[in-house]
């Protein structure tokens, strides 16, 4: 085959690829795809919109008509939010909202702090059994949380961290549990991102006399902002919406129970108070929604970083 034939063959191949790409682009941007995206978005949003509308409706309206009646007979009130946040009802959710914040913030900071240092060690330091230990950490992700709860709770009792005399009112056990459950995924995600940093940057810093601490704090951490923010969102959403871990390791005590525990009690023992449940549920929803919207620009970029090599 001559050079001219080879060039013609390559040109035809490139033309076929471009046509296939153009066809795929048209399929993805067709009217049918747009309509499907809008339908999915509407179906996804309707329950949240119904919850928001119900939370502002009077008690009598909620118990007698559906939330869609607001379009023909609008009636709004702030009494539901006053009841659940001011303590004028039997359930004062403001205290549990504070508990949720006290639980969530350390439960996000602790695993990120440990995971970033561990990921740096696995990515840029040499020590015995490094690959084996990283595989072991990665394999811990498949261990169900439910399997570890009884042994972990027994360990807390033996160490004096659980029970009526537990220091910190039981927050310590919830923080440690969430941190341990989050570390395998955190180390894996941050390691993948960190290993994509060009080695020349690390070597240049070492040539300039920087040690591991300086490289980690001045070079690695600023570059890892998207990955750290992505995991922080995941961990925040997980801990904020958690019920099982807080209920098991907090013991159900009102002093350490988060908002989810009280909402479960509200729906189970006072299921007829739909007006309070709607307001309380939206109070629980609005905080993670604000966090996600504030950090969403880091989310996809941080999750996909390091996922493709080459």
How far, rounded to the nearest angstrom, does the alpha carbon of residue 134 sit from its chain's CA centroid?
Answer: 23
Domains of the chain, by residue range, sit at 2-54, 83-298
Q: Give the pLDDT score at 304.
A: 57
Q: What is the DSSP string of 80-94?
A: HHHHHHHS-SS--HH
Contacts 24+ apart (CB under 8 A), 27-35: none
Q: How many other CB atoms are there within 10 angstroms of residue 182's CB atom?
A: 22
Q: In 65-207, which ranges are continuous DSSP H helix? A: 79-86, 93-124, 130-139, 145-159, 171-195, 199-207
CB contact set of 192 (below 8 Å; sequence gap of 6+): 305, 306, 307
What's the CA gap between 214 and 300, in Å, rounded?
28
Q: What is the DSSP string of 126-144?
A: --TTHHHHHHHHHHGGGS-
The three-state secondary structure class of 254 is: coil
Q: Give the pLDDT score at 158.
A: 81
Would you say 181 and 234 are in contact if contact means Cβ atoms under 8 Å apart? no
- Place domain 83-298 in its CATH homologous superfamily: MetI-like (1.10.3720.10)
pLDDT in tens, the chain (310 residues): 555 454 445 455 555 555 555 555 555 556 777 788 888 888 888 888 888 888 888 888 887 888 888 888 888 888 888 888 876 556 678 888 888 999 999 999 999 999 999 999 998 888 888 889 998 988 888 888 888 888 888 888 887 776 544 444 478 889 999 999 999 999 998 888 888 888 888 888 888 888 888 888 888 888 888 888 888 888 999 999 998 888 888 877 778 888 888 888 777 655 567 777 888 888 888 888 888 888 777 766 655 554 444 4
46-75 as b/e, with b when 16 or more CB fall inside 10 Å?
Answer: eeeeebbbbbbbebebbeeeebeebeeeee
Spatial CA neighbour of 189 closest among 233, 243, 129: 233
What's the CA gap between 62 and 55, in Å, rounded?
9
Q: Give the pLDDT score at 117.
A: 92
Q: Which residue in the block uniquely carries the two structure tokens 């009217």?
A: 31
């Amino acid at each position: 085959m001559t050079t001219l034939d080879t060039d013609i063959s390559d040109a035809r191949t490139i033309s076929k690829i471009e046509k296939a790409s153009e066809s795929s682009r048209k399929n993805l941007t067709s009217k049918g795809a747009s309509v499907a995206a809008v339908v999915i978005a509407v179906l996804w949003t309707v329950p949240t919109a119904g919850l928001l509308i119900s939370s502002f409706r009077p008690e009598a309206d909620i118990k007698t008509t559906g939330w869609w009646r607001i379009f023909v007979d609008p009636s709004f009130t702030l009494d539901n939010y006053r009841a659940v946040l001011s303590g004028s009802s039997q359930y004062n959710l403001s205290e549990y909202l504070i508990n949720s914040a006290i639980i969530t913030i350390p439960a996000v900071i602790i695993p990120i702090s440990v995971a970033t240092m561990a990921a740096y060690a696995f990515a840029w330091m040499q020590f015995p059994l490094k690959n084996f230990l990283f595989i072991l950490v990665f394999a811990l992700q498949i261990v169900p949380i439910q399997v570890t709860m009884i042994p972990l709770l027994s360990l807390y009792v033996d160490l004096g961290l659980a029970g009526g005399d537990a220091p910190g009112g039981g927050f310590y056990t919830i923080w440690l549990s969430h941190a341990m459950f989050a570390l395998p995924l955190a180390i894996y995600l941050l390691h993948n991102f960190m290993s994509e940093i060009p080695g020349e940057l690390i070597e240049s810093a070492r040539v300039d006399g920087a040690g591991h601490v300086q490289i980690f704090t001045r070079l690695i951490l600023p570059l890892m902002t998207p990955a750290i923010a992505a995991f922080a969102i995941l961990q925040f959403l997980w801990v904020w919406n958690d019920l099982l871990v807080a209920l098991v390791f907090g013991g159900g005590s009102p002093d350490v129970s988060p908002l989810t525990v009280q909402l479960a009690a509200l729906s189970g023992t006072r299921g007829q108070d739909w007006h309070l449940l709607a307001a309380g549920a939206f109070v629980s929803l609005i905080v993670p929604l604000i966090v996600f919207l504030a950090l969403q620009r880091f989310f996809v970029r941080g999750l996909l970083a390091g996922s493709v090599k080459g």
